[in-house]
Structure 1
């Protein structure tokens, strides 16, 4: 639970956040006194009004715009707006000649305050309907009792489809019917790794989740879920989908979705999950739906729709596509219809969705390329053994490399080296035996180029390509085993080639502090053991050395005095592994 905020006054926070919306969408205005966002000169259509407590952005204020909401009313953080705020929105801020539909989530305060405003508007002669959305499968029938299920992110599907239908000119009766139809066919569940902190509020921390725990069914106002458990993402998604789809669970079987139905999937960020991680979560949900339930969604929406401030969690919503009858558009067409609202992130058209095909997952692979044979021969068994020993040593060193890089860099060096090492080991396991050294080296180069990224990956790839060129230049005229002398000459030419692309030299605190001593010592002694020892000594010498190149220059702090350069340490471990492998 992070208590760090840029704006600590919750009243100031809500007001300034609402004021910002008219800056990002010129078609809307802000009634800051009543915390209402509404369309300027809204079209003559059924108006869609929604809202609730603040803290769920972009819901609801940023969904105001053509094709979605006509007006949104905000309360303070996690608290319902007052009935008077809602009444003023209905009577004075949105078009009401064609009627008004109020869409509200099933929370007691929201239902009471919005409901009271609806009745007051009706008393003034305005035609108003209200749809209450309760889509949360985290609350079962027994626990929900008379209150029923809470409303969570599935609500945005109701708002979007109703808003699109209203924009088409449909009647209040039809818009209300379709909104209710969507609500009745939507089921959702959320999970979180942590409770959230409300700015300006002192929170009790004794109920905080333990490391590795996840709360399944957590509500969007910090309400407790149905259970806490320690699990990984696949296990978590399995549980969440089971709560939504298992018809045998009579307490939670709210929507009878089968593999015969067209289904819309919404994966929603509760606020604190990075877009990168949310994409990985979305992929897991899609694969489990297909694998375990034979459901392949016809629409997949993934992004930030309804948050719980900076909640470190996500929710899954499933909508069973139902027949809309004679309104002139299907649920999918209404969902796909454009909306000019700054907070609506889904922008894929029906025409594009219609072109979707089977998603092909192509495993990373190395295409075999034609390599001119050489006269350099190598004992493949010995070379494979040496390299395997070296790569395993590098993999074992990854935690140290990562720790060093976390102190002086951005923490990715160890993972990159490990990823490359594992890919080469996989190639050695499945590749064809060859006694041609150039073919053997080229196979390694192809793997490095595909599997390693970042600065280290580029340096290794350039160096190895130059090494292959140097070996070919120093190859004998007839088939002969490679010698230490040939290796030394080829390595020297590789260093010169590398110098064209990086100014790094020994003393700059880079992997060059290990590479240069290795090459120089091998040239002088033709002993890989002595050369590897020189690389190790060079790596150790970087401890306390101030960097003059690389990301460490502007990332690293005082920690450089205590640890060696991560890249140099990783390379030294690899070379020591080669030396040990030769002795076996």
Structure 2
């Protein structure tokens, strides 16, 4: 790999790259503070929002423009943008009147942070859908497990089709359905001759690929592939196509494509392959598809669509064309439709250039929203008392949670919970007292989103935003005290919403082992004391439980057999404190 760069400061690199996008496409603007590229004001339509870590250009920021994305949010190199960045994009940078579709690749950080922003927007009354793309055949079912396939270059098919359909005035329901249809019928795989060097980082210590060796199934964030082997280009392409098309391979047969199907081919440059060599690679792929699989693609796209910095490799994506069910809006027509985005093949029109500067810079909008009042009433003194009891208990057990997480994780769980609790206490000192439950809950949500980071922070924030949405959905028509039945319905819907963003289930050794029995018991009995004890029992039963998700999966040793999952334990203690506070 090459560690030589013209710009070595990764922060400066990402910032200047984002600032360059409006220079090449006058129809877009840059919110540099939040790393958002978005379209200038235009006719109302369903807004398409995507994004991810920087380093995949032209995905996603250079796909913003008429006929493609309405907005894209960038993180640092290979790291998901924060939920706050995404929320600001959805609520302040793209039109919301016709609804918003968020398309994200299947990586834990992206799914959680984009998902948190989606739930936040829904809690504000915005109609938002989300499609998660997992098209990588390099990750088989056995290895992918509950996490599933990674999202790679086939995602651009979903973005292009959704963007073109939205531009034609389709409803959010239809745009979401067709986007999911394309995602379900796409399969991809990548390979590379080398890992990449990220500016600002030390040279990696892992062994570099040897001369003539290729890594098959390599991800777009420098992740290792499924195998390394010495082979030539024909042998490599044969293996990649076999992984994508061999229906006998039960571990990787995700899309049943045959010679009878219409197929779209994308040969994508991971960043470091010359256009000349990519042409030779494309020809090899097309010939093998015809000779070995009797497949003649009806559309062929070759070029740089989704990179891994300067990755010395390429990926192959195959899309099985399916019926959209919409007249004059077939998948092929939508792929062929013009798009004025600097990262897409269509050129920016002369009329767009002549309008440069006509639209004045939009004024910065406020980043905080006033919460709409609700008809759910709560005794503010009792609510503060119960919350104080819960937070004090979390702070008291921080040493235990930290100790457990030091054994099975990275040691930050207890500190994160304590930081969140202390921040909520500070909020309670200044927040205006209110008997409106949703105003009270929103004050807590705002603190959690800012003060708690990491995976647990994202999970708490998603759940609480979904809870706010569930409470609003079940609110009575006139002002009334919140009932156990309303709580139960809202909590059940929150648990269901959380399931969209994490595959965790009871038995996976996560905080779900405490959350699930709490909600189910509360729904059944209406008794928070019984429910909190069920949560405590669930947390204790994680002792000795082998983890299926989270960082514990990668931690060796036998320590996990002696301690509960720290996240589950911390949540159970919080709920026990809440129950005790309600008794006083």
TM over 0.5: yes
Deviation of 1:299 (Å):
0.1
Residue 485 of structure 1 is matched in structure 2 by: none
Please, which runs of 5 or more residues in structure 2 have no aligned partner?
348-584
- How many residue pairs align between the two structures? 348
Q: Is 2:39 the counterpart of 1:46?
A: no
Native 8 Å contact 2:339 2:346 kept in 1: no
Instruction: Establish whether residue 221 from structure 1 lines up as the match of residue 208 from structure 2.
Output: no
Do 2:55 and 2:78's aligned partners in 1 also have CA atoms closer than 8 Å?
Answer: yes
- Aligned equivalents of 1:176 and 1:335: distance in 2? 16
| 2:202 aligned partner | 202
Within 2, Cα distance between the matches of 1:192 and 1:114? 29
Structure with bigger gyration radius = 1
Shift of 1:346: 5.6
The aligned residue for residue 140 of structure 1 is 140
- Counterpart of 2:354 in structure 1 is none
SS of match in other structure, 2:102: strand
- State the distance in 2 between where 1:95 and 1:327 align: 26
Looking at structure 2, the residues matched to 195 and 210 of structure 1 have their Cα atoms a distance apart, in angstroms, of 11
Structure 1 residue aligned with 2:463: none
Cα displacement string for residues 221-269 of structure 1 (whole angstroms, at most 9, x for unaligned residues): 0001110000000000000000000000000000000000000000000
Write the distance in 2 (CA, Å) between the matches of 1:300 and 1:99. Answer: 32
Give 5+ residue unaligned stretches, structure 1: 348-584
Matching residue of 1:313: 313
Instruction: Tell whether the 8 Å contact from 1:162 to 1:178 is kept in structure 2 after alignment.
Output: yes
Q: Secondary structure at the match of 2:264?
A: strand
Q: Alpha-carbon deviation of 1:205?
A: 3.9
Match of 1:189, SS state, is strand
Cα distance, 1:328 vs structure 2: 3.5
Q: Do structure 1's residue 31 and structure 2's residue 70 form an aligned pair?
A: no
SS in structure 2 of the partner of residue 339 of structure 1 = coil
**Once the 2 structures are TM-superposed, how far is the Cα of residue 341 of structure 1 from its aligned partner?**
0.2
Q: Which residue of 2 aligns with 1:176?
A: 176
Q: Deviations over 1:455-477 (max 9, x none)?
A: xxxxxxxxxxxxxxxxxxxxxxx
What is the CA-CA distance between 1:327 and the residue it aligns to?
Answer: 5.1
Q: Is residue 238 of structure 2 the alignment partner of residue 238 of structure 1? A: yes
Deviation at residue 204 of structure 1 after TM alignment: 1.7
Asked if 1:87 corresponds to 2:58, the answer is no
Residue in 1 that maps onto 2:408? none
How does 1:450-489 map onto structure 2 within 5 Å? none
SS state at 1:277 partner: helix
Residue 265 of structure 1 aligns to a residue whose secondary structure is strand
2:7 matches 1:7: yes
Q: Secondary structure at the match of 2:332?
A: helix
Distance in 2 (CA, whole Å) between partners of 1:24 and 1:63 is 12
Structure 2 equivalent of residue 324 of structure 1: 324
Conservation of the 8 A alpha-carbon contact between 1:134 and 1:149: yes
1:126-165 equivalence runs, <5 A: 126-165=126-165
Aligned mates of 1:64, 1:185 — CA distance in 2: 24
Aligned to 2:248: 248
- The separation in 1 between residues aligned to 2:207 and 2:218, in whole angstroms, is 13
Separation in 2, partners of 1:123, 1:277: 49
More RCO (CA 8 Å, sep 6+): 2
Compute the TM-score of the two structures, normalised by the length of structure 1: 0.59
The CA distance in 2 between the partners of 1:127 and 1:164, in whole Å, is 20
Distance 1:204 1:326 in 2: 50
> 1:203 deviation in Å?
2.8
- Partner of 2:187 in structure 1? 187
Equivalence for 1:99: 99
Q: Deviations over 1:175-217 (max 9, x none)?
A: 0000000000000000000000000001324321011000000
Q: Is the 8 A contact 2:340 2:346 kept in 1?
A: no
SS at match of 2:162: helix
Matches of 2:262 and 2:303, distance apart in 1: 21
Q: Distance in 2 between matches of 1:319 and 1:61?
A: 23
Q: Contact between 1:174 and 1:327, CA under 8 Å: does it hold in 2?
A: no
What does 1:377-396 align with in structure 2 at a 5 Å threshold? none
Runs of 4+ in 1 over 2 A off after TM superposition: none
Aligned residue in 2 for 1:22:
22
CA contact (8 A) 1:42 1:94 kept: no
Task: Give, in whole Å, the separation in 1 of the partners of 2:192 and 2:120.
Answer: 38
